[in-house]
Amino acid sequence: MPRQSPNIIITGTPGVGKTTHCEILAEKIGARHLSVNQVVKDKECHEGWDDEYQSWIVDEDKLLDAIEDDVKEGGCIIDWHACDLFPKSWIDLVVVLRVDSTTLYDRLKARNYPEIKLQENLDTEIMEVLLQEARDAFDEEIVIELQSTTSEEMDTNVDRIEAWVTQWKKDNAE
């Protein structure tokens, strides 16, 4: 069964604005916000808690099993700081959010991240790790990079993704 609505991944370094974008988009276009963080916690798709990094150690096979039925229906917005674990056939668009490092520092500091995690995430953003991961894992045409430093940028991003979804639905209508 072909999907009636596209599946989108919103990815990027923690603090870049994934959850905020996904929540607004879910409301605006009626898509399902699939917060991987939440699924990992709720469905116990993990191998325990990493105390140093203050995060779950994700069991990727369990995670994929847990979301497969939802994703196959279409209309999901997947919110996660990694993207190369998702099968290519599931995904129609990969949005990589980016932010300037001073802003990211402030956002992560406000979250009381441990120093090691804060520094590692800043490096990840500066080195464009998630952008590279997305380009390596998916076809170039479906990967887009959007800035998420200001709220004006967020509004523009949301409008752009909404327009893309409308076009996708037209192109894929029977």
Alpha helices by DSSP H, 53-150: 60-73, 101-110, 115-126, 129-137
Of 71 and 98, which CB lies nearer to ligand DAT in the complex structure?
98
C-beta of 106: minimal distance to ligand DAT in Å?
9
Pairing of strands 143-147, 93-98: parallel
CB 49 within 8 A of CB 57: yes
DSSP reduced 3-state for 51: coil
Euclidean distance between CA atoms 89 and 76, whole angstroms = 14
Of 147 and 172, which CB lies nearer to ligand DAT in the complex structure?
147
Could you list the residues that contact ligand DAT (CB under 6 A)?
12, 14-20, 107, 148-151, 153-154
Of 91 and 108, which CB lies nearer to ligand DAT in the complex structure?
108
C-beta of 172: minimal distance to ligand DAT in Å?
28
Residue nearest to ligand DAT (CB): 17
C-beta of 11: minimal distance to ligand DAT in Å?
9
DSSP conformation letters of 86-100: S-GGG-SEEEEEE--
Of 17 and 74, which CB lies nearer to ligand DAT in the complex structure?
17
C-beta of 145: minimal distance to ligand DAT in Å?
14
CB 1 within 8 A of CB 161: no
C-beta of 6: minimal distance to ligand DAT in Å?
20
CB 149 within 8 A of CB 131: no
Of 5 and 157, which CB lies nearer to ligand DAT in the complex structure?
157
